[in-house]
Structure 1
Amino acid sequence: MILYDLRCTAGHRFEAGLPSMFADNPDCPCGAGTSRVPAAVRQLGAASAGRSREEMPTTWRGISGGHPDVVRGWHREMTRREKLEEKHPELAGDRRPVLAHEGVFEGRPLRSGDALVPAVAKATFGTSETTRPAAGGAR
């Protein structure tokens, strides 16, 4: 059986199962003749997590100077994102506060809870080890 979408000359739409693609179209329950119509396209398996927190506006200009419709839309989207992150914490990313994000920390911000000395050494000198001169070092 093959399911087909059909439309009668009176405008009624319905589905009918036909034994083959060569079978004649059945009449509509109202008695009018029918013709086949293209089925609606269904796209399955497409999902989106929406915009990440980094893509959401953080400035007055980003919300069009506080325009009520823009603020309402962003609020709706942020609420949706928070619910998604509650359900799937792996999407939340690192939510710790950023302590430094400029200069040597531009590529990788320093966040609360990071080990300060190794992070500064790596950002400044390219190594995570801190070296101190030995007491009475070589001359």
Structure 2
Amino acid sequence: MISYDLKCKEGHRFEAVLPSMFSDNPDCACGAGTSRIPSRVNTSGMASAGPSRDEMPNTWRGTHSGDKDFVRSWHKKMVKREKLEEKYPELAGDRRPVLAHEGAFEAAPVRAGDALATQMAKETFGSTAKAETKKPKKP
């Protein structure tokens, strides 16, 4: 079933549900013949994920010197964002802390859980060998 907007020769407009796009147009209530017209385009109600955590103010000036209403509005936005991220985890992005961001890792910071421990040890200590711990000998 397909919904169509129709207009008769007298100027009356109405909507009709037809079984197929090849079905004949129904006559208007006034008895005049009808023709199909384009449906209106709905441009409102666009979806938005809202501001991300990166856009949240993180300085005293950014919060308008701690303005209560401004902070409250951001709190509401972030609570809404948290609920959205729980439902759609892909919106949360990478929330792991940055562990290293200098030297060899300046262009691509190391994050918690990355499999770069060997490379990180080599850059930091010049070696990847683990320190051997001495076990006390049993008499």
- What does residue range 96-115 of structure 1 map to in structure 2 within 5 Å? 96-102=96-102, 105-114=105-114, 115=116
Gaps in structure 1 of 5+ consecutive residues? 4-18, 26-39, 125-129, 132-139
What is the number of residues matched between the two proteins?
Answer: 96
CA distance in structure 2 between the aligned counterparts of 1:104 and 1:65, rounded to whole angstroms: 38
Letter of the 1:22 partner, please give it. E
Give the drift of 1:46: 2.5
Determine the structure 2 residue equivalent to 1:64: 64
Return closer, same or farther for 1:104/1:56 CA change in 2, 3 Å cut-off: farther
Determine the structure 2 residue equivalent to 1:116: 117
Give the drift of 1:2: 5.2
Letter of the 1:116 partner, please give it. A
CA distance in structure 1 between the aligned counterparts of 2:10 and 2:81, rounded to whole angstroms: 50
Give the drift of 1:53: 1.4
- What does residue range 60-99 of structure 1 map to in structure 2 within 5 Å? 60-99=60-99
CA distance in structure 2 between the aligned counterparts of 1:24 and 1:54, rounded to whole angstroms: 52
Secondary structure at 2:99's aligned position in 1? strand
TM-score by structure 2 length? 0.52
TM-score by structure 1 length? 0.52
Give the drift of 1:41: 7.0
**Preserved CA contact (<8 Å) 1:2 1:20:** no
CA distance in structure 2 between the aligned counterparts of 1:80 and 1:61, rounded to whole angstroms: 23
Return closer, same or farther for 1:60/1:101 CA change in 2, 3 Å cut-off: farther
Give the drift of 1:75: 0.4
Give the drift of 1:21: 6.0
**Identity within the alignment, %:** 55
**Preserved CA contact (<8 Å) 1:2 1:21:** no
Secondary structure at 2:65's aligned position in 1? helix
Give the drift of 1:43: 1.7
Determine the structure 2 residue equivalent to 1:35: none
Gaps in structure 2 of 5+ consecutive residues? 14-39, 129-139
